[in-house]
Structures are given as C-alpha cells and as structure tokens.
Structure 1
Amino acid sequence: MEDIMSKFRLCAFADEADSDIRGQIKALNRNGVGLIEVRGINGKNISDMTLSEVKEANKLYNDNGIKVWSIGSPIGKININDDFEAELEKFKRTIETAEIMEAKCIRMFSFYGTNGETKYRDEVMEKLSRYVEIAQGSSVVLCHENEKGIYGDVASRCFDIVTSIPDIKAVFDPANFNQCNQDIIEAWDLLKPYVYYHHIKDADLEHKIVPAGYGSTNMKVYLTEYAQMGGGVLTAEPHLADFVGLSNLANEDETANIGSFKFDNNDESFDFAINAIKNLIKDI
C-alpha cells in the first residue's frame, strides 16, 4: 500500500488541543502532524496579534518542527453591513502575518447577514474582490470556507464565488455543508476543481460534530477521489470538545453542535480526532 503521506499532508487547528503555544506544539509533535492552521495562540486570535508576537510564535513553531500552512483568520466573518474599512485594515495585517509565517494561504469567509439572498450577491462579490486586490503581490492564496450562515454556505453560492473571482479558492468543510442540509457529494462534484485544501470535520444526521469517519458526510468517498487527483492538505478541525475561542467562532453557540463523544480533556479529544483521520485515510 502506498504511504498515506504521499497523498495527504496532515495539518491541524492545534488551539483545539491547547490555547498555549507550547501545548499546541506538544500536541502536534506527539501526533506526528507537521503543519498547523493558526487560529488562536495563547488565547489571542491570530488576526489580533502584533507582528512582534507573530514573529515570536512562528520562530517557536519552526524551532519545534512545525510549519504554518494557513492562517485560520476570521476575515469576512462579519455582518455584510459592518464597517468594511476597519475589516480591510485587519486584512492587511493578516497578509503581513501570513508573510511573516510563510503561510501558503489565508482562510476567509463571505459575510453574515445576507440570508443567502440574491440581492446581496453583487455587494458580496465586490467586497471579496477588495480582499483580492489587497492580496495582489503577495504569495498568499485566499481560501473561502463554506461556513454556515454566511453568503457562501451552500455549494451553488460557493461555486459562484470561486468562478466569479478565480483568485479565491475553496476550503471544503463537510460538516458545515451537513449543517446547511447540503448534499456533500453534490458539493464535492461541483467544487472539486476549485478546492485548495480540506477541513476534516465530520457530522452525523442530527448535524452533531463527530470524529472523522463516524458521520454521514461520505468523507471517505470524496477523499478517495481527492487522492486520485493528487491529494493535498487535510486540516483537522475536531470540534469534539469545548476550547478557548470556540464560542466566538460563529454567531450562534458552537458548543451546541458538539456530539456525544466524551473526553477527559482537550488533549484527549485532539488525539482521538487525529487518530480517527489517520484510520480513515490509511486504506485510501
């Protein structure tokens, strides 16, 4: 059997193991994960950190064998009517952060408050295009995540975004599609040419978050095809236990979506999540 790491590169949101950076490094190292999608460090969101803090954190990651794959930013996770100029200033700092950390990409969103209504489409596209303009000249790839409740939360609107603005790629998150009652395989078939990497977060028929392979998102089916296409990065985003910052990730209480799996601590839930992913992909 071909080694799984020739098809997939494992990455993780290590703040789900520990808010402290040293705890994150320990969690990644003991699980053999060499990439991180940075979201929270020492209880602070990556987009709110000073550049000196970013440099210090990046050195600590690198000194311990960890490379930053993506900036798991909250960019675009605002209401469509919020102050956009302030948002653009945050985005400029996030670009600087990505360049310091030598991150390949920035995860982003397409605004709350639209209810997916067509009347907001042009404004969404215009604002997303502003991000692209600012990112020009950098080496960073902008990657849109299909977050529940934003404009691009179902496959058809994600497709509209990535085809209308080719410089934006897709992050494929099956649990988020599940929670929008979007058929996962239909979403994959539509979006696969535009998917830059994957978030590995599974969900069951009741929309509860479960470990990879335990849910109803047909993860193994589309990951098999992804491997046949050449594979790439899989970022573990477990959401199997509460952690620092979870309640701030959406307009609604994310803890309500945690499934029935019980763990003694966040290290245990993180390790279980990584092992579930390894077990899922070992036969692909």
Structure 2
Amino acid sequence: MIRLSAFADEISPDLHEQITVLKEQGIHYIDLRGVWDTNVLQLNDNQLADIKRELEAEGIGVAAIASPIGKVPVTSSFEEHLQHFERALEVARYLNAPYIRIFSFYPPMLTEATEQGQESTPGIDAYREEIIQRLTVLTRKAEEAGVTLIHENEKLIFGDTIARNVDLLKSINSPRLRGVLDPANYLQCEQQPYPEAYEAISPWLEYVHVKDVNAAGELVVAGAGDGRWPDILRRLRADGYDGFLSLEPHLAAAGEYQGFSGSNLFRKASQALQHLLKEMDWEYA
C-alpha cells in the first residue's frame, strides 16, 4: 500500500503546527527538511530529541531526511561536504528514516570564473567523472550505514535531465542509490515527466515528489498542471508501486533550499492529491 508523506516545513516552521495539519489531513509520515527555520542538518541533538518525541507521540514516522547534500557547486570542498553527509546519516539512524534525499551537484558558480579570469564556467557535463566519483563515495557510506539515498532530479544539477539522471543511476548501480520522480522539476527543465522520464528511470524508481507546474510555469496542485498526474498515478499502480508519495507543493514560494506553501495552500495540495487517489480507488495510508 502506498503511503503519504510531506515536506512539513511547507506548512509552517513550527513543529506543532506541522503536526496539527498533517494529522488533520491524515498524513502519517514526514520528509524532515526543517523545523523552527533550521535546516535538518543544523538541528542540534536536543532539538532532534524533541522532534523525535513529538512525532512518536503523534504516530508520525520519518520517511526521509530531506537533506541538501549535493546541492553545492561540484568545485566546493568534498571533505567538508562529507562531514555534513555523516551528520545526515546520524540523523537518519536516530529518527529511523529509511531514506536520505540528495542531489548531484551544481556546476561552478559564475563568481569562481570571474576570480579565475575566465569569461564563462564549464558546463556541468565537464564534471561528470568528478560527480560520479563523489556520489559513489556517498553511496558506499550509505551502504555501510544501511540507509538508502534517493536522488532528486532538481533543476541545474547534474541529474536534472532524463539522460544524465539515468547516466548517474546506471553508472553507480547500487540498491542504496535510487531515483526520485519529481514531475514538476522535469517540466522546469523542459523534460517530459510522463511517459519519457517515468519509463527511463523506472528501474531505479523508489520515491515520488508531488507537485505540478502549469503551462505558464506556475507551481500548482497535482492534476492542475502539465505533469500528467492521473496518468502517472495509474502507471505507478499498474507497476506495483508501494512506496511514498511525498507532498512538496511549493505553492507560495520556491527557494534554492526549500519551498513554502503555508497551511491553507498545503491543505489544498493535500486534498488535490487525495482526490486523485480516491477517484481511482487506490488505497493509501
């Protein structure tokens, strides 16, 4: 049976408000990205203990640690980034989260080219080998920790397009590195989420982010845009998908490290998804 989860910081920075709305919407899992305006990897041990206690008391599980790992220029210090990744593994183990969301690095920032006297920076493809190497290191550490990394097809990172996403998943070829299907992100990269992206990454598909984009480029609730959500849901069901559908609607704001909807718009996003599921009689928890 599929399970609903949510990036609850889309609702509010306040943990209690996050929990209230999740329970009201019948959502029993969370993708932990931030609480109290603090990123998940910056939360201290006492804060994590408070979060764990509150979530367990309310019967809400942590589906994934929605980390910013890999959302930095590929030319930045990998050793420093590994320290953040080790923290992500610690947090996942502590909160019993089976997944850590990651990205696959940005190309160098324009400021780097300016400092080096270059007129432009190399494209992301020039760093393919370095990116594969870095992601391989992260995957091996995840294998040792018994945690699964899920790669999000975010705009401007290496794995933003269908072809490069397949390239990195196939090249690393580990059951501990799997793919996220984010239809809205594919649309923002002028890629077709269905059937093209779906079929290409289906051998590695293990997680789904729920948001949509219309023809004007506006983020909308699932089914109101060009993401072909009814088709995607029918195909997921036909293919036996039994993972998470995680709401990440970004209806009020979409920033580099997080999006925001607010409680009312989040409710609309949740109700739109659940309406689609009920129309097709697909049971969910």
TM-score, normalisation: structure 1: 0.88
* CA 1:206–1:116: 2 relative to 1, 3 Å: farther
Q: Does 1:247 align with 2:255?
A: yes
Say if 2:74 and 2:106, in contact at 8 Å, map to a contact too: yes
Question: Which residue identity is paired with 2:274?
Answer: K
Q: Report the identity percentage.
A: 35
* CA 1:66–1:127: 2 relative to 1, 3 Å: same
Stretch of structure 1 that moved more, 163-172 or 147-156: 163-172
Q: Does 1:196 align with 2:192?
A: no
Q: Which of the residues 136, 158, 175 maps onto 2:143?
A: 136
Mapped to 2, the partners of 1:234 and 1:87 lie a distance apart of 28
**SS of the residue 2:184 aligns to:** helix
Post-superposition CA distance 1:57-110 (Å, at most 9, x none)? 112111111000000000000001111111100000110000000001000000
Q: Equivalent residue for 1:259?
A: none
Q: Equivalent residue for 2:264?
A: 268
Superposition deviation, residue 116 in structure 1:
5.5
Superposition deviation, residue 53 in structure 1:
1.9
Question: Which residue identity is paired with 1:226?
Answer: L
Q: Equivalent residue for 1:3?
A: none
Consecutive unaligned residues in structure 1, runs of 5 or more: 1-5, 256-264
Question: Which residue identity is paired with 1:118?
Answer: D
Mapped to 1, the partners of 2:223 and 2:164 lie a distance apart of 26
Superposition deviation, residue 22 in structure 1:
0.7
* CA 1:213–1:281: 2 relative to 1, 3 Å: same
Q: Equivalent residue for 2:188?
A: 179
Post-superposition CA distance 1:22-81 (Å, at most 9, x none)? 111001000000010000111100011123321221121111110000000000000011
Stretch of structure 1 that moved more, 149-158 or 126-135: 126-135
**SS of the residue 1:136 aligns to:** helix
Question: Which residue identity is paired with 2:206?
Answer: Y
Say if 2:221 and 2:272, in contact at 8 Å, map to a contact too: yes
Q: Equivalent residue for 2:230?
A: 220
Q: Equivalent residue for 1:162?
A: 169
Q: Equivalent residue for 1:261?
A: none
Say if 1:175 and 1:207, in contact at 8 Å, map to a contact too: no
Say if 2:107 and 2:124, in contact at 8 Å, map to a contact too: no
**SS of the residue 2:97 aligns to:** coil
Say if 1:109 and 1:147, in contact at 8 Å, map to a contact too: yes
Say if 1:116 and 1:150, in contact at 8 Å, map to a contact too: no
Question: Which residue identity is paired with 2:47?
Answer: E
Q: Does 1:23 align with 2:17?
A: yes
Q: Does 1:63 align with 2:57?
A: yes
Post-superposition CA distance 1:112-159 (Å, at most 9, x none)? 116764321101100111111222322210010000010100111110
* CA 1:28–1:172: 2 relative to 1, 3 Å: same
**SS of the residue 1:142 aligns to:** strand
Q: Does 1:230 align with 2:237?
A: no
Mapped to 2, the partners of 1:30 and 1:151 lie a distance apart of 38
* CA 1:116–1:279: 2 relative to 1, 3 Å: farther
Q: Which of the residues 70, 78, 94 maps onto 1:100?
A: 94
Mapped to 2, the partners of 1:51 and 1:161 lie a distance apart of 33
Say if 1:69 and 1:104, in contact at 8 Å, map to a contact too: yes
Q: Does 1:48 align with 2:42?
A: yes
- The root-mean-square deviation of aligned C-alpha atoms, in Å, is 1.6
How many residue pairs get aligned? The number is 263
**SS of the residue 1:93 aligns to:** helix
Say if 1:116 and 1:152, in contact at 8 Å, map to a contact too: no
Superposition deviation, residue 280 in structure 1:
1.5
Structure 2 counterparts to residues 79-118 of structure 1, below 5 A? 79-113=73-107, 117-118=124-125
Consecutive unaligned residues in structure 2, runs of 5 or more: 109-121, 281-285
TM-score, normalisation: structure 2: 0.88
**SS of the residue 2:180 aligns to:** strand
Q: Does 1:39 align with 2:50?
A: no
